């Protein structure tokens, strides 16, 4: 697997296509490199002698570079790459555009580039990249007007322009980076490589990404899931909405995957999601600032009631809770605050509070065992020095692991204080809502970091029987054959109605007698897909009607399609839907992320409320149980309407068994058990819909 | 009704409690006033000769002030107010704290203040206010460290500290105000007065408010509803969540009303809602910038694909739509853009675009008839001058009414351009998501401004019969008497099941025969509230069981409570719930906003999904219809599950008739028709639950 660490650790950087022509990209990159880089800068251009006063090399093979930045015209890029490969130079950043993003010729050129990378085992960023930055060595191999300041966030972006924008914006806000990469077309290195590289990097505290798509969902999930145990990863994924996805795919030429799959994939990977650029860096700054809170309780300390209420509203919107202080905390607050101040949460230190009073109150609430994080809100007042307040907060910070967010609700008078706090790793905001959302992201990271992974259960199944059934599917069409498809479920231990296939009226009656009660009868034929449409199914057939119904079904099938192969009639137990809750358990195979399991309550809950949840397969028992809890209609499984609770364990097991089935057989493209009827005594899969791709088997 | 315009138009301002003592509030106010005010500043303080070199008056009656700012200690405030009243001075701003917000003494003092205001017909801001600002005359009668810059937004705030914070923050962002008021305790003037005043003010283009509560919901709705036809109003209401509401009420001492009532009230008032301080001013700036878009179509012009996709995602989240350009627009775009640029929406003018190319593309998309608004997104590049871009955008702006938002995605290099745009009334943002949300708020204002008000329908009802029924309720308890309560619905023309009250088994049988089919039988007694609990209700009684059931019900009632008054047995048509859709139509009376009507589909939809909607009564037919459309389960009324559509008009009429009933009788505190069964042939109110306050009748 490709790795990207060599890029950022480079000591000798060649710029192929070096020039000092004003306004050119080559000159811009060279100027950026020459400004701060601790290592050697090696211009390469056979047509000129010197660039910016430095001697030029004729070819890359003449240098001892360990990284090449390629800015030659698209037509000669492949040549340069081949030269690099032959010379044993492994790391390249291709700035040049005119590849996959620009029509057929470009697509061919990109394919050739990939082939060269494989041939010579090259790590390549781009093509069509703005470049890379590593602040630890002062490496700025981009043509952005502004360099990154040093810090502990690493950022990758599928949009080069966004890198330029963020570098300016973040610089003004004193937000620092370890590494930055503009991913470009991701022909070779992609988000998986950088997540892995930065996961191993002791100087990166948080990985941030702007992504329009993920090339290999499965690989990304596997890598990020491991990395996020130590290093938080936040992604702003664009193309979330239908309109956005269309815009993204016309922009990159790639097909954007389904939002449901990205949601499930990023969740499984333990990746936090930001909804805007602002939020991406709000979260990033908070996550780079220190460890997550140990409890969900938050304390608010403010010199203004109104903003305290706004913060409380935002806490109400989040999964944080406003701590109810214990008596000791209240007693100690009374000791440091005037009698008219509030010692309840939010703590109002009053409009005439000095920095010292703020500091005292903060110190007290931080010692409450239920307080996991704190928000300080300061509005300008005649007696409050923002600078001294920053000092007091930094002092408290030194003595605790509890994370804070600080709202300095002022204009330029807060700038120095904000810088002091930011240097101490404490993020500042104007708006309390943003402070709370950022703390909430940090809280989410706690459960990601601490999650315990159990392997998915492996049930004892009849894999060969299942394979035999799937092999009967000859063409790639929607397959509704009741009997065969139900056999898959039988092979994987998912309960189905009792039933038999018979080939005479007498046998049908005997079967119905054995089953007991009214039955369902269905014609069995591989040639009749939509059995209900031709009257091939009869529900609620009583014992004395069974023989006649057999004849009716066969004659309907014959009338409909005289040459259809008839394998008989299925006589099946009638599952009374009124006795239980109808659920749906299904699977859809996503091109990026693989099998996506779906669960929901049937009927109106799926059709009208779209009340479903998805997970990537294979799921653990815990994940399967979470799916039940996820849906809003879950209380109906637990006897919400006076009926007895259904067999939830049966549903959970069915989800896991289905997960095993679709993981074992990639040929199953789509599968819906609809309904899976759940009663207090168990579950039963009443109907199944299946799409198989026989070419994969 | 009190008015606040005199405050802002004052020409001679007395400061009662004037002092030049450093660090005092009096000195801070005086200094602010002396700095910029076009009128006269008149210090009042009997204990000193001169303040800041100006002669001091001994008492307010010695001045010819038309506005007094009161900063004397709380104990002497009432005296000052009485003096002002006697002297005919009508406008006061009371800065002094120590009133309703601070315990019993303060509450008494505030009540006395109100009484004085009434006696002398005084307009008073505060007490416990930070003061007021009117930039048109340079009046800054606050003790905030920073003055407002001049502009066309007027802002009221229930938090004084937030005023201080916003003045600093907005000043740094070049956001200007016409008037600003810190409402303080709202003893006399409140949000209603300022909405009205600013609604009449030709120099206020948008009214912004931070509110923790609304004193008189009904008055606010009436006033704001009229004002919002000409002037947009945006409110950040805190205490939205349960935790926030608790914090707000402990902060202000007032009881925060229910969020559902505020939601319905603000919606009826045509008031837009912001969710954070940032959003309040994002929306304010956009609304002050010009008229709303004429269509929902938005065009995005960007020099960077990624941010264009982010903007498109946000459009997908909003009620705006990305315009599909017509052929003429695409043809003209091809004329002004390089061949590799996208002429679809979002328009990518490419990374090498100059300000001119941006301007040309913008001009073209603005001429597309489907484009109602536009977003320009510019990332830094070597060839783009932000200043020239701002010039090009301002030029386009001059030739069109189409509103724009501009995202300048850079750091301090954008400052000059942002100021140019802001001076031309064009708001700028970094984050595309904020630009889109702000344009969406402007779009919402179009439908508020253009709404057509029809009066609520008045149905021909038997008001006297209803009154007679309500008069039978003697005590303030939950009243479930089927017969009487159902009579209310009969009187107001809401269909109820056919039924009669009988007092013998033979009559019961005769009644059941007239009704036809199985019936429901209920004991009728004002002394038995929970009839089902004692077996006082029998459902599905067949004709031959009716006589026996009569005896059974009477003997059960007698056994349960021998002294209960028995008025007979009700024999009622059995409404088969399976034939229709169960809905709930209800009313809850809110202390601030009055009767709040609720609609939802019964059973799980209300109990589990909380899928309900509320409106303030009285509702128009349009509003009643909107209630049906609001709920997610609405498709079930329209035959979503294969059943025929129900009588929606019958539900709409029932909501309106209930609206009339609860508007006519304030004694009805709570009323639920549950279920109102809707079938294709009509609706019928099967059960009713009612709480009456007989003291109001």
Question: Given CA atoms A45, A46, A47, A52 in this order, what sign does their dihedral have?
Answer: positive
Closest CA to A427 of A574, A539, A279, A218: A279
Q: Which of B169, B314, B412 sits opposite A411 (nearest CB)?
A: B169
Q: What's the gap in Å between the CA of B630 and the closest CA on chain A?
A: 13
Exposure of A86 by Cβ count < 10 A (0-12 exposed, 13-18 middle, 19+ buried)? exposed
Burial profile A387-406: b = 16 or more Cβ within 10 angstroms, e = fewer: bebbbbbbebbeeeebbbbb
Question: Given CA atoms B89, B95, B101, B104 in this order, what sign does their dihedral have?
Answer: negative
**DSSP reduced 3-state for A413:** helix
> Could you tell me if A620 and A655 are in contact, meaning their C-beta atoms sit under 8 angstroms apart?
no
Closest CA to A277 of B298, B410, B283, B428: B410
Whether A238 and B169 lie within 8 Å, measured CB to CB: no
> Could you tell me if A325 and A343 are in contact, meaning their C-beta atoms sit under 8 angstroms apart?
yes
C-alpha distance from residue A529 to each of A240, A525, B123, B461 (Å): 36, 8, 81, 59
Q: Which of A143, A303, A313 sits opposite B241 (nearest CB)?
A: A313
- Alpha carbons B260 and B616: distance in angstroms, whole number: 10
- Alpha carbons A104 and B282: distance in angstroms, whole number: 44
Whether A411 and B171 lie within 8 Å, measured CB to CB: yes
Dmax (CA) of chain A: 102
Instruction: Tell me the sheet residues that pair with A499.
Output: A572
- Alpha carbons A83 and A60: distance in angstroms, whole number: 7
The fraction of chain B above a pLDDT of 70, given in percent, is 96
**DSSP reduced 3-state for B63:** coil
Instruction: Tell me the sheet residues that pair with B673.
Output: B585, B688
Could you read off the pLDDT of B611-667 as tens digits, one per residue? Answer: 899 999 999 999 999 999 999 989 889 887 677 899 999 999 999 999 999 999 999
A643 confidence band (pLDDT: 50, 70, 90)? confident
**Cis-peptide into A131, omega within 30 deg:** no
C-alpha distance from residue A601 to each of A368, A612, B585 (Å): 43, 7, 27
Could you read off the pLDDT of A345-360 as tens digits, one per residue? Answer: 999 998 889 999 999 9
Question: Given CA atoms A276, A277, A279, A280 in this order, what sign does their dihedral have?
Answer: positive
Provide the H-helix boundaries in A319-371. 327-336, 355-366
Give A688's contacts (C-beta < 8 A, 6+ positions apart). A482, A485, A486, A488, A489, A671, A672, A673, A674
Angle, in degrees to the nearest 10, between helices A505-515 and A546-560: 130
> Could you tell me if A501 and A483 are in contact, meaning their C-beta atoms sit under 8 angstroms apart?
yes
Contacts of A146 in chain B (CB under 8 A): 380, 411
Contacts of A608 in chain B (CB under 8 A): 632-633, 635-636, 640
The DSSP bridge pattern shows strands A176-182 and A149-157 to be parallel
Q: In sequence order, what DSSP letters do the residues of A37-102 get, joined into one string?
A: -SSEEEEE-TT-SEETTEEPBSSGGGS--SEEEE-S-HHHHHHHHHHHHHHT--EEEE----STTS
Could you read off the pLDDT of B505-552 as tens digits, one per residue? Answer: 999 999 999 998 899 998 888 777 667 778 888 988 999 999 999 999
Nearest CA in chain A to B311: A244
Closest CA to B320 of B509, B153, B447: B447
Query: Could you tell me the pTM of the whole model?
Result: 0.91
Burial profile B95-126: b = 16 or more Cβ within 10 angstroms, e = fewer: bbbbbbbbeeebeebbebbeebbeebebbbbb
Whether A238 and B309 lie within 8 Å, measured CB to CB: yes
Q: What is the pLDDT of residue A475?
A: 57
Q: What's the gap in Å between the CA of B374 and the closest CA on chain A?
A: 16
Closest CA to A234 of A197, A281, A184: A281
Provide the H-helix boundaries in B337-431. 355-366, 386-398, 415-423
Could you read off the pLDDT of A496-506 as tens digits, one per residue? Answer: 998 888 989 99
Q: What is the 3-state secondary structure (H, E, C) of B577-607?
A: HHHCEEEEEEEEEECCCEEEEEEEECCHHHH
Q: What's the gap in Å between the CA of B452 and the closest CA on chain A?
A: 31
Tokens representing A621 are 């028992």
- Alpha carbons B230 and B415: distance in angstroms, whole number: 33
Q: What is the pLDDT of residue B480?
A: 45
Mean pLDDT on A463-467: 94
Nearest CA in chain B to A103: B340
Residue A338 reports pLDDT greater than 60:
yes
- Alpha carbons B25 and B219: distance in angstroms, whole number: 34
Whether A158 and B306 lie within 8 Å, measured CB to CB: yes
Closest CA to A601 of A577, A576, A572, A574: A577
B478 confidence band (pLDDT: 50, 70, 90)? very low
Mean pLDDT on B443-469: 93
- Alpha carbons A150 and A171: distance in angstroms, whole number: 10
- Alpha carbons B591 and B670: distance in angstroms, whole number: 12
ipTM, two decimals, is 0.88
Nearest CA in chain A to B632: A609
> Could you tell me if B214 and B221 are in contact, meaning their C-beta atoms sit under 8 angstroms apart?
no
C-alpha distance from residue A692 to each of A467, A476, A526, B290 (Å): 12, 6, 14, 57
Give A314's contacts (C-beta < 8 A, 6+ positions apart). A432, A433, A435, A436, A437, B276
- Please tell me the least confidently modeled range out of A26-30, A495-499, B249-253: B249-253
Q: Which of A553-562, B91-100, B603-612 has the highest mean pLDDT?
A: B91-100
- Alpha carbons A370 and A373: distance in angstroms, whole number: 9
Exposure of B191 by Cβ count < 10 A (0-12 exposed, 13-18 middle, 19+ buried)? buried
- Alpha carbons B204 and B511: distance in angstroms, whole number: 68
Please work out, in degrees rounded to the nearest 5, the angle formed at the alpha carbon of residue B411 by the alpha carbons of B405 and B417.
Answer: 50
Return the DSSP state at A139. E
A479 confidence band (pLDDT: 50, 70, 90)? very low
- Alpha carbons B242 and A361: distance in angstroms, whole number: 25
Could you read off the pLDDT of B43-102 as tens digits, one per residue? Answer: 999 999 999 999 999 999 999 999 999 999 999 999 999 999 999 999 999 999 999 888
Contacts of A256 in chain B (CB under 8 A): none
Q: What is the pLDDT of residue B644?
A: 86
Q: Which of B162, B304, B382 sits opposite A306 (nearest CB)?
A: B162
How far is C-alpha B501 from the chain's CA centre? 46
Q: In sequence order, what DSSP letters do the residues of B493-556 get, joined into one string?
A: T-----EEEESSHHHHHHHHHHH-S-EEEEEE-TT-S-GGGGT-EEEEE-GGGHHHHHHHHHHH
Q: What are phi and psi of B346, to 5 degrees?
A: -65, 140
Residue B150 reports pLDDT greater than 60:
yes
Whether A309 and B144 lie within 8 Å, measured CB to CB: no
C-alpha distance from residue A652 to each of A455, A610, A661, B412 (Å): 15, 20, 14, 55
Residue showing tokens 């809170």: A293
Return the DSSP state at A644. P
- Alpha carbons A585 and A654: distance in angstroms, whole number: 8
How far is C-alpha A442 from the chain's CA centre? 16
Residue A526 reports pLDDT greater than 80:
no
Mean pLDDT on A576-594: 87
Give B282's contacts (C-beta < 8 A, 6+ positions apart). B274, B427, B429, B434, B437, B438, B441
- Cβ neighbours around A114 below 10 Å, total: 15
**DSSP reduced 3-state for A123:** strand
Domains in chain A and their CATH numbers? Answer: 5-287 (3.40.50.261), 291-450 (3.40.50.261), 498-574 (3.30.1490.20), 577-692 (3.30.470.20)
Mean pLDDT on A640-661: 91
Mean pLDDT on B170-189: 94
Residue A251 reports pLDDT greater than 60:
no
- Mean pLDDT taken over chain B: 90
Whether B633 and A382 lie within 8 Å, measured CB to CB: no
Give B92's contacts (C-beta < 8 A, 6+ positions apart). B67, B68, B69, B70, B81, B84, B122, B123, B124, B125, B126
Whether A171 and B603 lie within 8 Å, measured CB to CB: no
Whether B413 and A277 lie within 8 Å, measured CB to CB: no
Whether B309 and A239 lie within 8 Å, measured CB to CB: yes
């Amino acid at each position: 697997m490709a790795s990207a660490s060599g890029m950022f650790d480079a000591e000798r950087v060649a710029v192929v296509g070096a020039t000092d022509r004003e306004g050119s990209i080559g000159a811009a990159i060279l100027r950026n490199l020459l400004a701060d880089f601790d290592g050697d800068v090696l211009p390469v251009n056979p047509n000129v002698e010197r660039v910016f006063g430095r001697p030029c090399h004729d070819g890359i093979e003449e240098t001892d570079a360990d990284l090449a930045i390629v800015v030659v015209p698209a037509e000669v890029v492949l040549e340069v790459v081949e030269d690099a490969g032959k010379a044993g130079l492994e790391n390249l950043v291709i700035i040049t555009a005119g590849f996959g993003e620009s029509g057929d010729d470009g697509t061919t050129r990109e394919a050739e580039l990939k082939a060269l990378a494989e041939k010579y085992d090259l790590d390549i960023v781009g093509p069509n990249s703005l470049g890379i930055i590593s602040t630890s060595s002062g490496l700025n191999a981009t043509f952005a007007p502004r360099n990154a300041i040093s810090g502990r966030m690493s950022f990758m972006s599928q949009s080069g322009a966004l890198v330029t924008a963020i570098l300016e914006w973040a610089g003004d806000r004193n937000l620092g980076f370890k590494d930055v990469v503009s991913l470009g077309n991701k022909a070779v290195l992609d988000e998986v490589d950088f997540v892995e590289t930065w996961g191993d990097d002791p100087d990166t505290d948080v990985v941030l990404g702007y992504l329009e798509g993920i090339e290999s969902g499965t690989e990304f999930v596997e890598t990020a899931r491991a990395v996020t145990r130590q290093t938080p990863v936040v992604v702003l994924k664009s193309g979330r909405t239908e309109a956005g996805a269309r815009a993204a795919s016309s922009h990159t030429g790639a097909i954007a995957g389904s939002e449901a799959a990205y949601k499930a994939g990023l969740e499984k990977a333990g990746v936090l999601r930001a909804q805007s650029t602002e939020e991406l860096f709000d979260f990033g700054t908070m996550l780079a600032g220190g460890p997550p809170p140990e409890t969900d309780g938050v304390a608010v300390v403010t010199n203004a009631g109104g903003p305290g209420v706004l913060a409380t509203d935002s806490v109400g919107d989040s999964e944080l809770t406003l701590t109810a202080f214990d008596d000791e905390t209240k007693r100690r607050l009374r000791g440091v605050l005037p009698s008219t101040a509030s010692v309840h949460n939010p703590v109002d230190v009053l409009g005439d509070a000095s920095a010292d009073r703020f500091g005292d109150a903060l110190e007290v609430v931080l010692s409450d065992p239920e307080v996991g994080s704190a928000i300080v809100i300061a509005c300008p007042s005649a007696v409050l020095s923002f600078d001294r307040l920053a000092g007091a907060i930094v002092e408290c910070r030194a003595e605790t692991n509890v994370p804070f967010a600080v709202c300095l609700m002022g204009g330029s008078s807060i700038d120095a204080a904000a810088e002091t706090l930011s240097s101490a790793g404490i993020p500042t905001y104007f708006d309390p809502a943003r402070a709370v959302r950022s703390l909430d992201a940090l809280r989410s990271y706690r459960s990601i970091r601490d999650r315990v992974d159990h392997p998915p259960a492996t049930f004892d199944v009849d894999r060969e029987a299942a394979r035999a059934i799937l092999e009967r599917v000859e063409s790639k069409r929607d397959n509704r054959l009741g009997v065969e498809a139900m056999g898959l479920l039988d092979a994987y231990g998912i309960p189905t109605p009792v039933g038999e296939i018979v080939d005479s009226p007498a046998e049908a009656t005997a079967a119905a007698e054995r089953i007991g009660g009214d039955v369902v009868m269905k014609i069995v034929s591989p040639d009749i897909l939509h059995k209900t449409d031709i009257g091939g199914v009869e529900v609620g057939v009583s014992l004395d009607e069974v023989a006649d119904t057999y004849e009716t079904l066969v004659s309907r099938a014959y009338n409909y399609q005289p040459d259809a192969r008839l394998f008989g009639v299925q006589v099946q137990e009638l599952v009374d839907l009124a006795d239980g809750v109808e659920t749906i358990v299904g699977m859809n195979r996503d091109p990026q992320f693989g099998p996506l399991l779906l669960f929901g309550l049937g009927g109106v809950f799926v059709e009208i409320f779209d009340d479903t949840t998805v997970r990537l397969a294979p799921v653990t028992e815990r994940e399967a149980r979470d799916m039940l809890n996820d849906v809003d209609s879950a209380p109906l499984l637990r006897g919400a309407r006076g009926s007895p609770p259904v067999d939830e364990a049966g549903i959970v097991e069915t989800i896991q068994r289905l997960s095993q089935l679709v993981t074992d057989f990639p040929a199953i493209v789509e599968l819906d058990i609809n309904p899976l009827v759940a009663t207090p005594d168990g579950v039963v899969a009443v109907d199944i819909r299946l799409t198989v791709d026989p070419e994969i088997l």
